[in-house]
Amino acid sequence: MNLFFNIIIVICLITTFLALLLGLLHTARSGDEKNNSVNKFMRYRVFIQFASILILTLALYFK
């Protein structure tokens, strides 16, 4: 069971980092005309961070 939680934690960390990196790259690449898509990326990032924190909390609770 601990191995399962460790894998889940690593997956959460990697997805959060990738979402942050993709959002930053998209923000740096886009101009003023693409503000809506930048906001979409940031909303996805916030959702992924929320889900990761929730999963991490549950994993640490059950560990």
Q: Which tens digits make up the pLDDT trace of 17-32?
A: 998 888 888 877 766 6
Distance (Å, whole) CA 52 – CA 32: 30
- pTM value is 0.75
22-37 burial, b if ≥16 CB within 10 A, otherwise e?
ebeeeeeeeeeeeeee
- Measure CA 61 to chain center: 21
Structure tokens that stand for 24 in this block? 């930053």
Question: Domains of the chain: which residue ranges?
Answer: 2-62
Residue 44: partners with Cβ closer than 8 Å, 6 or more residues away: 19, 23
- Region 24-48: mean pLDDT is 77
Computed over every residue of the chain, the mean pLDDT equals 84
